[in-house]
Every structure is written in C-alpha cells, then in structure tokens.
Structure 1
Amino acid sequence: MSKTDTGALAHKVRRLAHLDIPGAGQVTVAGRYAYIGHIPNKEHLGTTIVDIADPYNPRVVATVTLDDPFSHSHKVRVVGDVMIVNHERNMTKIGRRAEQVPAARAALVAALGREPSASEMAAKLAISQADYREVEATRAKPYENGGFKVYDVSDPTKPKLIAYHKTGGIGVHRFAMDARYAYISTEMDGYIGNILVTYDIADPRRPQEVSRWWMPGQHIAGGETPTWSGKRHRLHHALRFGDEFWASCWHGGFRVVDCADIAKPRTLGAYNYHPPFPEPTHTVMPVPERIGGKRIAITIDEEDQAQSANEENARRGRLHAGIATFDVSDLSAIKPIGLFEVSELDSPFSRVEGARFGAHQYHEAMTGTLVYAVWFSAGLRIIDVADPAAPREVGFFIPDPAAGRSAPQSNDVMLDERGLLYMVDRLVGFDILESSV
C-alpha cells in the first residue's frame, strides 16, 4: 500500500476533490452535475446537487429537504431532465435486525410452547428490552408516505417537484430508470417484502403502473405462502439490460427475468447461494461481452447483519460480503465460478469496533472487464474479472475517515463518461477520484 498526499492508502487511484457533506446512500452523475441521496440525518436533507464541471472544485448548487421526519430519500437517479428519489420509512436504531423478529418469535414459540414475553424476545435477539419495545412500536405504527418523488431538473440549481407517487408498506428502497420506465423496488399492500413495480414515466408528472414481478411466496393476498421467515427473501432492486431484468433478491439470491413484454415479466433463471454465504445479495449484473465463449454475471453482497454490535465476537472468522462470478450461459443451469474478497489485512479499519467491514455496491454498468466497487471500511476497489474464476484487484483507494469518524464507510460509487469516479460515504463525505488503471 502507498500513502497519497491526502493521507489515504491508494494504488493507481488519486483523489481530485473532497466535500464533507452528510452521509449518503447513492450518487448518480448526469452531465456536469452529481446528485447525491442522503442517509437519514438531523437536517432532514434528502438530496444534494453538486456542480462537478471542474472536478477539482465541486460546488453544491442545490439541496432538497424532506418535510417528513419519519422518512428518508437516500436513493436518486436522473435521466434527461427527470430526477427520481425514493421515499422510505426510517429504520429503527437497530436497523435490519428487526427483520429477525418473525423467525425469533417462531423459534421461541416452538421451544416454549407459548408466545414469548418481551424480555424473552429481547434476549433471543440479543438486544435491550428498550430496543425491542422500539422495534415493536415502529412495526405497529401506520405509515402512509412510502413511494417516490419526481423532479424536473431541467435547471439542476432549481429542482421542481412535479409528482409524488405513493406505493405501499414502508415504501421504496432502491430503483433504476431509463427515459421511458422507472423500475421501482417497493413494498406493496398484499405482498411480503419488496417487489418490482414498473412505471411508465413518459409523462413524468403522471407515472402509470405497467407491471409487477415478485418471487413465488411473496403475494400473500393472492394465497401464496413464503418458505422463508419475515422479509429475508425480497427484491433489493432490479437492473434492466436489454430485454432482461437482473434482480437481486437479498437472502433469496438472484433472478433473471424476461421483460421483452414489459407488461408480462417472467422469470428465466434463478440461483441462491444463501446458505452457505451469510450476507445478502445486493446487486447482480451481466458482463457486457462473453468471456471464453461463456456469458458471465457478477453479484455483490452487502455486509449487513454480521456487523451488528451484538455479533462483534461471532463475526470473527465469518465470511465477509464480497463479489462472486457465475456462468449464466444457460439460465436454467446457472453455475458459480469464482469469488473475490478484501482481506482484513488489506485495510487498517477492518476491525474498528462498531464499523462494518465488507462489500456493499459497485458501479451498475461495465465497460470491458473492470468492476468498480466500494467496501465498508476499505474504500474503492477496482477488480478485473477477465478471468472470472480468479478475479483480481488492480487498483484501490481507502480514504481516511472524515469529520472525526472512526472508519470510512464507503457506500456507493459511479463512473462518468470522463472516466472519473464519484464515491460517497454513508456517514460523511463525497470524493471525486481518478484512476490510472
């Protein structure tokens, strides 16, 4: 590892600029502007728009705040003059650990032969009784603000709200879009966990639902019964490549879906590698060109529940979230090929107490065989999958923690048409990077 003049550890990557803006969930770049969606924060900041025409001197030119203290909009996409942001209920302070409540209750009922008490549930989940009461109170509260908002950004310095489309449940998590459609991952009444709802946005002021896709077992109002507990199997989000959706399904692995008829999506193939891999599938995408005559796909998992404070000791020796490659030449017989992980020895922040260490997300498009990915506590990693059985790292950038934080928590990255990289941290910070790979 080599130190850059900014104090970061880097190889073939250098920082051009940094802004200490509040923590973010996603960054997208359109033209000369970067659009940043923020993690819940005390300022109720939803979106920041940054002029990046001069990558050495980025300037904040607009912000969008939320008037709903119970919601956040940490995801953002822009196509043309249209910006879409999600609207989702804030998590409890123990985050996704609340998902384990149904399974924990079922296990205790089986063991005790009765409904467990609040103290027994708290002990089973290894959280305090106060935290458990907060989880139950949040689950019991009605929430009617979930959905997505559409803005006119023909002048990015003056974004204008033109539509607020409500969906259901706790709202929209992640999504993708193009000039005609928005591919929304959201909870909906009658379903367990997020499903894919496609909207026609030809008239962005009036989004129109086109179709729904879900995994068998999610449509409980339609008589389906899930084979899993709670919301562990659900759509994280789907990316469209040609006439296919590539859908990451959390602890349900991934699915490839035919969308040639956008009104009637149908599943072509599926693969679930959980278990034995403990961390959920965050994103899946195909490599643009065949390698050795084979069609290859790449998944990235999210370091999630293993990093809960109550599992501080249990996570030692446990496989961290990483990247996996698959042969998807035959979608009826998908085969795993290779793995890529960042070792705990490769970051000075890998064992910082209370901080996650493991993969999270990559740039959701490829040119050639390079993958640009971000790791909690290990920054940007550039990975070459030219040999999908043995992906290799060819560059990296590990920033020093910003604003007095104990470890960097790099959360999202995007590559623009100039070849520059834009990285956000879920706690604080926005970096513009240049790679010489």
Structure 2
Amino acid sequence: MSEGAVSAKGLRRIAWLDMPGGGQVYVDGGYAYIGHMEPPHGTSIVDVSDPRNPRIVARLDPPSSGSHTHKVRVAGDIMVTNVEQDQRHALRRAKRIPEIEAAYLAQHGRAISDVELAAAIKVKPGFLPRARASLTEPAYAEGGFRVWDIRDRSNPKLLTHQLTGGIGVHRFDLDARYAYISTEMEGYVGNILVIYDIADPAKPREVSRWHMPGQHVAAGEVPTWQGQQHRLHHTLRHGDQLFAAVWYAGCRILDVSDITRPKVVGEYRYHPPFPEPTHTFMRVPFQIGGRDIAVAVDEEHEHVAGQLHGGLWVFDVTDPAKIQPLSMWHLTELDNPYVKAGGRFGAHQFQEHMEDTCLYTTWFGGGLRVVDIADPTAPTEVAHWLAEPPPGQSSPQANDVDTDARGLVYVLDRNRGLEILERTA
C-alpha cells in the first residue's frame, strides 16, 4: 500500500505538509494558496516549486477572530481572499435561543438544560457561551473580500478590504478583470452574485448583481423556500457564460456578454428528489463526442441514513435552454472504513479547471476520486487516494483539490494537512 494511504490506485504521495485544515487550495506558478477553515489561521502561501519539499513563505491572519478567510483565488500578481463570519451557521441558529428557552419553560415547567439547548441548536455544549454572547453583540460588520498585491509572495501587501454585507463572501471566481463574488447583501435573503471590476485592484467597482426571484425581499419579493435554501454558492466563468450552483435550487447558466446585465439562459433543478445541495457547476472547456458538457458536484451536508450521499453529475448543455442530465457517479459505502468514523462521507468539490476528461473530486471521508468522463453517459473511476486520518482525527476529510501544469495533485484536508500526489498510471 502507498505510504500515507489505506487505499490507493494510480496515485502516490510525494509530500504531506502539516498545517491547519482548509477550505480551498489554488495552485499557480509554483505556489499553492491555502484558505484555512478557522481563525486564527487565515491564508497561507506555500512554495511548491520543489513539490517534495513544500515550504510556507507567508501567513496572513483574518481581520479578527470573528472572521474566517477560507477561500482564495489568484490572477497574476493579485490575490483575493474572502472574509466571512466564522461559525456563521451556528450563530444564526443561536438567535433562536430566547424562543427555544421560553417554549421549553412553558411546556415543561422548568428551564432547559445546556445539553438540551445545545442539541436544539445543533452545537456542542461548549459552544453555548459563544452562542449566548452573540445575542448581545453588535451585528457582524467585516464581511466582504480582501485584495492583495503578491508580487512578493513572501510579503503580500493588502490593497483593500471591500465590504459587502450580511455574513460576507463565500466562494468566488476571479480573472484578470473581474471578481465574481458570492455574498450576502443588505435587502436580500441568502448569497447573490455581485460582479466587481478590479481593473484598479485597490478600488473594486461593482458593475452588476444577479439573484433568483424571491431573494430580493427589500424590493417586495417573497421567497418560496425555507431559510437560506435557495442561494448562490458560486459561479465559474466560461466565455460569455457563468455556470452557477444555487444550492437547493440546482444549476443556472447566466449570459454575461453584457457584464452589466447577467441574465439566465438555462436552468436545471433536481432538489427534490436529490437530497444534497449543488456546490459547484462547471462547463467542460472542450466538447466531448460533439456535445457541450458541464459537470456539477453536490456537497454532502446533513446526510440522512438511507438517502443518497452527495455525488457527481454530467450534463449536456449544448442547448442551454434544454439542459439534459446524462449521468451520475456515486461512491459506495461498502468497504470504506470511515463511513461511521465521524465527519462527512459524500462528495464536495472538484478542481475548477480541466486539461483532459478527468475530474479530480474530493469526497470527504471517501478521499480523492479521479473520475473519467470521456464517455459522459458512463463516468468511470480511474484512480483514487484514501488517506490515513491526519494526526488527531478519526477520519480524513478531503475538502478541496487542485492540479498544476506538472500533473501534480494537491488535496487539502478540512481538518489538518495538505497532500501533494502524483499519478502513477
């Protein structure tokens, strides 16, 4: 068995870097850029010019302990990192504490215990002091994104912290001219798309917004879904189109030939019956079998036993107005030692570019899965890497992946560690 893995096919480890777990790895020009999951860790820049000896050359802190900066993108000598409220989901649930306490007292004639309250808002009891403190704290005000000059990778210079709204920015896309930002904004329910012109990176300029009908409550729109179920996760640009993953609303294709007026030209919804939300939607940058192909991956979220885990989709998008699903690929629970070991098991993310027909897909407790879609109707696994749990963890949690021009594969664990792998077949 390959060193560092409990199961491997066609891949071997050439390096493992002990570092805090992360939400995104982006590789460009001999450097890997890492967005870490939790403060006090923010963004790391890693020199991978010698991939067998990766070396951290810069560490950047979040703006405060109340924010995390777990996503990162680079275009030339400009780096953009998100700023989002840390523990955002738990803190939102914490707003219900007074309501829960009052209802429990009325029903049972006694105060709710800490153990019961923690279970009601789906947190560990140790988080309750933080949850209660949040009820009297000022509203979160750091949400947005930061733009950095990284001409000296070892000494990034902050150019600006662009504020947006709500809990801030999640995942996003970036090119030399525009940042395609997924963020909450005042007056909207859930994340929407805000496109910024970064021709002057120190002064981002908003050029347009896009949202789904029902999100703009300040304009009188009324959501037809519960809570934040319909929201933008992020978009990826291909030509004059953006491919948008919109959580429990499925997928959208946006025409941005006029960057000031994004408009929907295609959509596909599959929730229900499929239980896990759409995380990423990406156009394959070449035709396969004479067809325009797009791929999507669902994120394993709050899995219910007996339902499907998050999986991988392949679509025919030759006619955006008539998106057609061609196939799905799922990973079986059979023979996997980490299904019940703690942490998530299903899919999460693939590399956000393709050089051939292989998708390098992180599968949380299922590790890295390399799926070939040369036949879009019959995706086939051609390689995999299931790592041993990082030190101190009960299971691996393969969270994000990127590949570089050398064909090397970078797998970031959600909890701890960056792996660098190479194909052996």
Q: Do both share a fold (TM > 0.5)?
A: yes
Match of 1:335 among 309, 313, 324: 324
Match of 2:307 in 1: 318
2:356 maps to a residue whose letter is G
Match of 2:291 among 290, 294, 300: 294
Ranges in structure 2 where 5+ consecutive residues have no aligned partner: 104-110
Distance 2:132 2:374 in 1: 48
Match of 1:32 in 2: 30
What does 1:98-247 correspond to in 2, within 5 Å?
98=93, 138=134, 141=137, 142-247=139-244
| Aligned residue-pair number | 413
1:297 touches 1:327 (CA, 8 Å); kept in 2? yes
Ranges in structure 1 where 5+ consecutive residues have no aligned partner: 109-116, 307-314
Q: Please state whether the residue corresponding to 1:332 is helix, strand or coil.
A: helix
Match of 2:69 in 1: 73
Distance 1:176 1:99 in 2: 31
2:5 touches 2:385 (CA, 8 Å); kept in 1? no
Match of 1:371 in 2: 359
1:255 maps to a residue whose letter is R
Q: Structure 1 stretches (4+) deviating beyond 3 angstroms?
A: 92-96, 98-101, 117-141
Distance 2:349 2:245 in 1: 12
Distance 1:339 1:95 in 2: 35
- Please state how far the C-alpha of 1:368 moved relative to its aligned partner: 2.5
2:62 touches 2:83 (CA, 8 Å); kept in 1? no
- Please state how far the C-alpha of 1:95 moved relative to its aligned partner: 7.8
CA pair 171-392 structure 1, distance change in 2 beyond 3 A: same
Match of 1:16 in 2: 14
- Please state how far the C-alpha of 1:126 moved relative to its aligned partner: 6.7
Distance 1:430 1:196 in 2: 30
Match of 1:311 in 2: none
- Please state how far the C-alpha of 1:399 moved relative to its aligned partner: 0.9
Q: Tell which deviates more after alignment, 237-246 or 85-94.
A: 85-94
What does 1:338-353 correspond to in 2, within 5 Å?
338-352=327-341
Q: Please state whether the residue corresponding to 1:291 is helix, strand or coil.
A: coil
Distance 1:20 1:297 in 2: 35
- Please state how far the C-alpha of 1:249 moved relative to its aligned partner: 0.3
Match of 1:395 in 2: 383
Distance 1:129 1:405 in 2: 20
Match of 1:4 in 2: 2
Distance 1:9 1:412 in 2: 19
Q: Please state whether the residue corresponding to 1:169 is helix, strand or coil.
A: coil
Give % identity: 51
Please, what is the CA RMSD of the aligned residues? Answer: 2.6
2:21 touches 2:413 (CA, 8 Å); kept in 1? yes
Q: Deviations over 1:257-312 (max 9, x none)?
A: 00011111110011111111111000011222233332221110010122xxxxxx
Distance 1:100 1:25 in 2: 26
TM-score (norm 2): 0.91
2:52 matches 1:56? yes
- Please state how far the C-alpha of 1:5 moved relative to its aligned partner: 2.8
Q: Please state whether the residue corresponding to 2:322 is helix, strand or coil.
A: coil
2:191 touches 2:233 (CA, 8 Å); kept in 1? yes
Distance 1:259 1:203 in 2: 21
- Please state how far the C-alpha of 1:9 moved relative to its aligned partner: 1.8
Q: Please state whether the residue corresponding to 2:334 is helix, strand or coil.
A: helix
2:423 matches 1:435? yes
CA pair 125-50 structure 1, distance change in 2 beyond 3 A: closer
Distance 1:91 1:30 in 2: 29
Match of 1:111 in 2: none
Q: Deviations over 1:135-168 (max 9, x none)?
A: 6864775111100001110010111111110000
Q: Deviations over 1:242-266 (max 9, x none)?
A: 0000000011101000001111111
Q: Please state whether the residue corresponding to 1:221 is helix, strand or coil.
A: helix
2:3 touches 2:13 (CA, 8 Å); kept in 1? no
- Please state how far the C-alpha of 1:359 moved relative to its aligned partner: 0.4
Q: Tell which deviates more after alignment, 287-296 or 204-213.
A: 287-296
Distance 2:234 2:221 in 1: 21
Match of 1:356 among 324, 344, 352: 344
Distance 2:268 2:136 in 1: 34
TM-score (norm 1): 0.88
Match of 1:309 in 2: none
- Please state how far the C-alpha of 1:129 moved relative to its aligned partner: 9.1
1:99 touches 1:231 (CA, 8 Å); kept in 2? no
Distance 2:256 2:112 in 1: 45
Q: Please state whether the residue corresponding to 1:358 is helix, strand or coil.
A: coil
1:16 maps to a residue whose letter is I
Distance 1:345 1:99 in 2: 37
